Amino acid sequence: MKIISNIFSVILLLVLFSGCGKDNFDAPESKLVGRVTYQGQALNLRGTGEAVQLQLYQDGYEKNDPISVFVGQDGTFSALLFDGEYRLTTRDGNGPWVNNHESVTVNLKGHTEVNLEVTPYFMISNEQLSVTGSAMNASFMINRIVPDAKISRVMLLLSKTQFADDVNNLYRQDFSDVVPGSVNLSADISGNTEIVKAKALYARVGVLANGADQAIYSPVVRLK
């Protein structure tokens, strides 16, 4: 009986060691970093809620599910991976750009940098944002990149943190009757005690195109 017990113990140890060996693969150490760009300029995006994603594929494997790569609000992204050849592509129907499934081949070895060039519907430039008294004021240019693109809405945004977008904000005002070109908007913030009490205040403008699931944004600016 004792011999049988000892044999069982040895078998159990072998099973445990086998399981540990399978779980103890080396973690990926190579780092892919980059930006989502238009004509070399990084795009300003929604950076919360993992809203904007890219996808990485490594062909030649039986299981070829994409690896999700989340993009920050300044258009940057990073991922820890194993060395190899990958295909980095936009996610279908995701982002404030034309859904052309843009892609780039990445030969990853150690630290590798790559930009993914896309065509946004609109770009924002020359933004001037301020809060004075009971109003938020914004002047900026909306540059139409895609000739037939139309604006669904423009958003004025305030936040207590440096993350400001259509979902994460302290204050949001939408405008629907806006056309590309020079824009001047003002929003009434009187009665919003949270804005008054905020120790820090950040502002941003967003433009959502018809048919897009995400807006393009201006850089976040700190007002106080």
Residue 195 maps to which CATH number? 2.60.40.2060
- Select from 72, 92, 115 the last residue of a domain: 115
Distance between start and end Cα atoms, the chain: 78
CA pair distance 113, 35, nearest whole angstrom: 9
Q: So what's the pLDDT on residue 167?
A: 96
Same domain, 69 and 138: no
Give the bridge partners for 132, in sequence order. 135
Helices and strands: H and E segment counts in the chain: 2, 16
CA pair distance 133, 87, nearest whole angstrom: 51
Q: Edge-to-edge strand order for the sheet containing 135-144?
A: 122-132, 135-144, 181-188
Q: So what's the pLDDT on residue 28?
A: 78
Q: How many CA atoms lie within 13 A of 112 on its CB side?
A: 19
Same domain, 57 and 140: no
- Give me the tens of pLDDT residue by residue for the chain, a chain 224 residues long: 444 444 444 444 444 444 444 445 577 789 999 999 999 999 999 999 999 999 999 876 666 789 999 999 999 999 999 999 999 999 999 999 999 999 999 999 989 999 999 999 999 999 999 999 899 999 999 999 999 999 999 999 999 999 999 999 999 999 999 999 999 999 999 989 999 899 999 999 999 999 999 999 999 999 99
Number of domains into which the chain is organized? 2
Same domain, 105 and 32: yes
CA pair distance 164, 125, nearest whole angstrom: 17
CA pair distance 163, 140, nearest whole angstrom: 20
Q: What is the pTM of this model?
A: 0.85
Same domain, 103 and 168: no
Same domain, 130 and 110: no
CA pair distance 224, 215, nearest whole angstrom: 25
- Select from 82, 115, 148 the last residue of a domain: 115
Q: So what's the pLDDT on residue 64?
A: 76
Q: So what's the pLDDT on residue 63?
A: 64
CA pair distance 31, 80, nearest whole angstrom: 5
Q: Is residue 125 part of a domain?
A: yes
Same domain, 137 and 215: yes
Same domain, 139 and 55: no
Q: So what's the pLDDT on residue 25?
A: 59
CA pair distance 188, 146, nearest whole angstrom: 32
Q: Are 138 and 190 in contact (CB under 8 A)?
A: no
Which residues constitute the domain of residue 63?
28-115
Which H or E run contains 10?
helix 2-23
Give the β-pairing of 135-144 and 122-132: antiparallel
The CATH number of whichever domain residue 96 belongs to comes to: 2.60.40.1120
